[in-house]
Amino acid sequence: MDVILKQDFGKLGKTMDVVSVKEGYARNFLFPRGIAVLATEGNRKAVAEAKKVTEKREEKKAKEAGELAKKIEKVPCTIPVQVGEEDKLYGSVGVQEICDFLKKEGFEVERSSIKLDEPIKQLGVYTIDIELYKNVSAQMKVWVVKDQSS
């Protein structure tokens, strides 16, 4: 019996997949729990239409993320920090400081999308990955420099 999954379900498949299962499994487990519906011709057409809409939405989001990545890569990120003897940083530069800089420049980026293995603890130039969307990321150069105001 062919059924259409309404939600991701373990090894069986993902949402909107058409899968073959035994009739008893579908009738006694999948249908009562709302996990799947019978794969009738009408349901198949509805799923095909929903997939088209989802694909268009995904395409649009990926395009927007690509444009945002280009803009982010053009912005020079300079973070002034307090340093002590021998140019050792007081503290470190982490994801939060980079996120704050991007917000100040007008980019709304989530902290979790900034990929920084460990906090920056020395002066210098670093390349940071910012994952904006599936398979779309930006490479941003971050200059950590001595704060001249003190």
Q: What domains can be seen in the chain, in order of their start residue?
A: 2-64 (3.40.5.10), 66-146 (3.10.430.100)
- Quick: pLDDT tens for 45-62: 999 999 999 999 999 999
pLDDT tens by residue, 92-108? 889 999 999 999 998 88
Secondary structure E strands in 11-133: 18-20, 36-38, 77-81, 88-93, 114-115, 120-122, 124-133
The pLDDT score that the predictor gives to residue 149 is 67
Q: Coil, strand, or helix at residue 16? A: coil
The pTM of the full predicted model, rounded to 2 decimals, is 0.67
